[in-house]
Amino acid sequence: MPKKKLYIETYGCQMNISDSEIVGSIMADANYEATENIKEADVIFVNTCSIRDNAEQRVRARLREFKSLKKKKPELVIGLLGCMAERLKDKLLIEEPHVTVIAGPDAYRDLPKLMTYVEEGQKAVNILLSSSETYEDIEPIRLDHNGVSAFISIMRGCENYCSYCVVPYTRGKERSRNPQTIIDEATDLFAKGYREVTLLGQNVNSYSWETEEDVFNFAGLIEKVAQIDPLLRVRFATSHPKDLSDELIDMIARYPNICKAIHLPVQSGSTRMLAKMNRKYDRTWYLGRIEAIKNRIPDSTISTDIIAGFCTETEEDHQETMSLMKEVGFDLAYMFKYSERPDTAAAKRFPDDVQEEVKGRRLQEIIDLQQQLSLESNRRDVGQRFEVLVEGFSKRSNKFLFGRTSQNKVAVFEARDFKPGDYVNVTVTDCTPATLISKVVEDISVSE
């Protein structure tokens, strides 16, 4: 039978990118071949995000565009996957009548079966959440094609119930994947030429795998992955400050190939806000974790997530966020306006009472400050030497390559005959807020 063509469009977090690769693999076994050309697609899957209202609005706009595609090609199947599917359930079938497949994050194994229903002219929905599904036996197809860096999902779900967050409702209970399957996947990627893996989970530090003899935690897991080969870089995301142990910090310090870049979402610098957000730590605790990182891994970058204008946030609370940002000196931050999500604890219990323009102004102040901090961080790197893993040609010109430092900063440098997957030593000569401009160190450039 000729293969059908599947086009997958992914919104939201890295976990969704990883999930799309799992979906691609499940569908490949059912005779669907991934395509990057939407025009030739028999099936379009949109893997969606519900974290903020604007993420959902973007998907809605895209679905309207697909409507015209379907008019031209009535046999085209449009499926909605991921967090929006889970949150809105079969309501979506009514609101978006051209969508005929709805599958939540734990229902992807069922997709081939759902497709057979659709072929018979029915609509098909599976939004069951699971307490055990980790897709651990599925070898994801790699949709990114750079061939250097890949995501490995190591756990799913979240039970932290931060009061603003929809994820515990859309992704269900926290569960960890069998460590051997993770190590096997990373080993296989290395053998195929990959040089960097990012271990993914909503809260990787609470990774836990119990056997009869002992309990395997995230520090133990990352060590095993780092030991696969010194040329395999290991990254991870995301960590919750409450679970960032000294053991893990020491492990990152010990292995040169565990990247010196820690993403530690703070959300707010105000202890009052943090309590309302149900983050389970306060400002002092967070700053203590930062101090521990700086003491043990002085060359590590630290990045964060910040929410502006959460329920009842005052100007003082906002100033506490600004002062914490300066105190830590974040190298990078993802910054958002609070967006109330239906059914979360915050939506039920607290008024979304910070005026839109106040939220906007506070967010802008946070962004402006971060821009300054990021530039300062990059300026500190000027004159320093870094090992860069080459990912590809720079966007601007084929005369330049780009790659990342262990600290997760993008560096560009003269292309020469390096290729993706090579490690190159560079010295930083100049910078922008987002890029390190650098030159190749002549004497010791290593390419494998």
Q: What residues line the site for ligand 5AD (CB under 6 A)?
A: 51-52, 164-165, 265, 267, 305, 307, 336, 338-339, 341
Q: C-beta of 309: minimal distance to ligand SF4 in Å?
A: 16
Q: C-beta of 283: minimal distance to ligand 5AD in Å?
A: 16
Give the nearer residue to ligand 5AD in terms of CB position, either 5 or 279: 279
Interface positions with ligand SF4 (CB under 6 A): 158, 160-162, 165, 167-168, 202-203, 240
Give the nearer residue to ligand SF4 in terms of CB position, either 50 or 407: 50
Q: C-beta of 247: minimal distance to ligand SF4 in Å?
A: 20
Q: C-beta of 348: minimal distance to ligand SF4 in Å?
A: 15
Q: Which partner, ligand SF4, ligand 5AD, none, binds residue 318 by CB below 5 to 8 Å per kind?
A: none
Q: Which partner, ligand 5AD, ligand SF4, none, binds residue 125 by CB below 5 to 8 Å per kind?
A: none
- Give me the residue whose beta carbon is nearest to ligand 5AD: 305
Q: C-beta of 134: minimal distance to ligand SF4 in Å?
A: 17
Q: C-beta of 166: minimal distance to ligand SF4 in Å?
A: 7
Q: Which partner, ligand 5AD, ligand SF4, none, binds residue 222 by CB below 5 to 8 Å per kind?
A: none
Q: Which partner, ligand SF4, ligand 5AD, none, binds residue 203 by CB below 5 to 8 Å per kind?
A: ligand SF4
Q: Which partner, ligand 5AD, ligand SF4, none, binds residue 341 by CB below 5 to 8 Å per kind?
A: ligand 5AD
Give the nearer residue to ligand 5AD in terms of CB position, either 305 or 365: 305
Q: Which partner, ligand 5AD, ligand SF4, none, binds residue 339 by CB below 5 to 8 Å per kind?
A: ligand 5AD
31: left (phi over 0), alpha (psi -120 to 50) or beta: left
Give the nearer residue to ligand 5AD in terms of CB position, either 165 or 273: 165
Q: C-beta of 175: minimal distance to ligand 5AD in Å?
A: 20
